[in-house]
Amino acid sequence: MTSKRIVLGIEYNGSLFSGYQLQSQGTRTVQGALGQALSKVANEPVRLTCAGRTDTGVHATGQVVHFDTSVHRQLKAWMLGGNTNLPRDISIHWAREVSDDFSARFSAISRSYRYILFNRKTRSAVFQHNVSWSYDLLDEKKMHAAAQALRGKHDFSAFRSSKCQAKHAVREMQSITIKRAGDYVILDLKANAFLHHMVRNIMGTLMVIGRGEQPVEWMQKVLSGLDRKKAGMTAQAAGLYLINVEYPAEYGLPISGWLPIIN
């Protein structure tokens, strides 16, 4: 039987997951839950490849996965049947058939993340698992100015986790902005790829500048120093969302995600 390659756009609330990647038995992961749901639709095991693995507590509105199957199902069956078998904190929102040269991971030309920080003296009881929180008032204008040092192609070793398995730390930051919307400080980033904890480490470093503990120029010094120990803390996972993965137009895929909470 001829195998088909199916690609899905998915979203999930990462609060109760131990990250995306399948782990030891008994650990709740996005890949595990999604694989089980799709396997029920296919009546055979389904093996998934994703655009980017997210950590414990990190969310996604625009994750992309693909899998190969010889089972014939209508595209809507993968979406509707998958959602029927998924827990409420994961949802499939589109399905497409693609050529077998497509890879959710390696065909991607950019990935976009949004980090949402609740900046008020008291924490939010309602959004505690969906945004991070800082009680120190942050100067978002200084944070935005500092962030511009990261635009372009650089070695991002200063923002790389010690557990990062990437072969090198060179990435191209295509855009990065910081803005305020009421009590929310929002970081938007787009790059060809990201390192482990890269976004959270950038945000942690920008918060140091936002609190006035370091000048705007400090970001360039941290970047050039290539030393993770000289950068800021790793910001909380709860505020981070994978919001979009972009692919070449030839694959005809929709925009994978949407912007969470605040536009």
Active site residues: 55
SS3 for 161-220 is: CCCCCCCCCEEEEEEEEEEEECCEEEEEEEECCCCCCHHHHHHHHHHHHHCCCCCCCHHH
Find residue 67's DSSP bridge partners: 6
CA angle in degrees (0–180, nearest 5) for 80-81-84:
85
With beta carbons less than 8 A apart as the criterion, state whether 4 and 70 touch: yes
With beta carbons less than 8 A apart as the criterion, state whether 71 and 44 touch: yes
Q: Provide, for the chain, the percentages of residues in helix, strand and coil under a 3-state DSSP scheme, each rounded to the nearest 5.
A: 25, 30, 45
DSSP element (H, E) containing 117: strand 110-119
**Residue of 147, 135, 130, 119 whose CA lies nearest to 232:** 147
Instruction: Give residues with Cβ within 8 angstroms of 182, minimum separation 6.
Output: none
Tell me how far apart the alpha carbons of residues 113 and 127 are, in angstroms, rounded to a whole number: 19
Tell me how far apart the alpha carbons of residues 259 and 244 are, in angstroms, rounded to a whole number: 9
Please give the single-letter amino acid code of residue 156. F
Compute the residue count for the chain.
Answer: 263
DSSP element (H, E) containing 10: strand 4-12
Tell me how far apart the alpha carbons of residues 111 and 58 are, in angstroms, rounded to a whole number: 15
